[in-house]
């Protein structure tokens, strides 16, 4: 029963963060810090963090499949930490720097926008999935944790990898 109480305790936080984070990111299109110096150095750093997150996720799956629970837990906590650092850098960048428009043309343009749009939509979906998965592990409800992790993992991995791809595709158009 304790485990269910722990899940219930965190459920309001999961809902709150699952709404707050996408709303905060959406607000970045409108809210800018006046006269802020553009932080053009941040995108390659947070794209790298996305790449590291993808590697951590893959390593975490291999570790749990090999029975190394402690390594799995540490890798997952590190992946969540990387995602938090990414989010803070992303918000900081977009509050201080004008948006960069994708300058590609031809066949690559719809490919870029397909990747970008699926990345954005799935990044919103990832938030509650990751939080629920994490809370179920904390609550030691591993049967339920495993069920949702099978859904959360490929989506989170897709978001991490496509974050790098979006950066690589738009980076030639960043002002220098």
Nearest to 126 by CA among 159, 166, 162: 159
pLDDT tens digits for 14-73? 999 999 999 998 888 788 899 999 999 999 999 999 999 999 999 999 999 999 999 999
* Cβ atoms of 38 and 98 closer than 8 Å: yes
CATH topology of domain 2-14+38-173: 1.20.120
Residue 6's pLDDT is 74
Please determine, for residue 103, whether its predicted confidence score (pLDDT) is greater than 60: yes
* Cβ atoms of 13 and 149 closer than 8 Å: no
pLDDT tens digits for 149-175? 999 999 999 999 999 999 999 999 988
Please determine, for residue 128, whether its predicted confidence score (pLDDT) is greater than 90: yes
Phi, psi of 140 (to 5 degrees): 60, 35
Measured in whole angstroms, the distance separating CA 160 from the mean position of its chain's CA atoms is 6
Whole-angstrom distance, CA of residue 59 vs CA of residue 57: 5
- The model carries a pTM of 0.91
| Residue 32: DSSP 8-state | -
């Amino acid at each position: 029963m304790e485990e269910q109480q722990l899940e219930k305790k965190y459920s309001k936080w999961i809902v709150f963060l699952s709404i707050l984070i996408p709303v905060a990111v959406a607000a970045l299109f409108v809210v800018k810090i006046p006269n802020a110096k553009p932080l053009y150095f941040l995108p390659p750093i947070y794209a790298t963090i996305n790449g590291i997150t993808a590697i951590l996720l893959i390593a975490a799956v291999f570790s749990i499949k090999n029975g190394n629970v402690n390594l799995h837990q540490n890798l997952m906590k590190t992946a969540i930490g990387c995602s938090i650092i990414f989010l803070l850098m992303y918000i900081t960048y977009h509050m201080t720097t004008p948006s960069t428009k994708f300058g590609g043309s031809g066949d690559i343009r719809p490919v870029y926008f397909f990747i970008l749009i699926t990345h954005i939509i799935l990044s919103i979906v990832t938030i509650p999935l990751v939080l629920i998965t994490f809370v179920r592990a904390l609550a030691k409800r591993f049967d339920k944790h495993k069920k949702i992790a099978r859904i959360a993992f490929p989506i989170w991995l897709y978001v991490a990898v496509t974050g790098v791809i979006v950066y690589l595709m738009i980076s030639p158009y960043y002002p220098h």
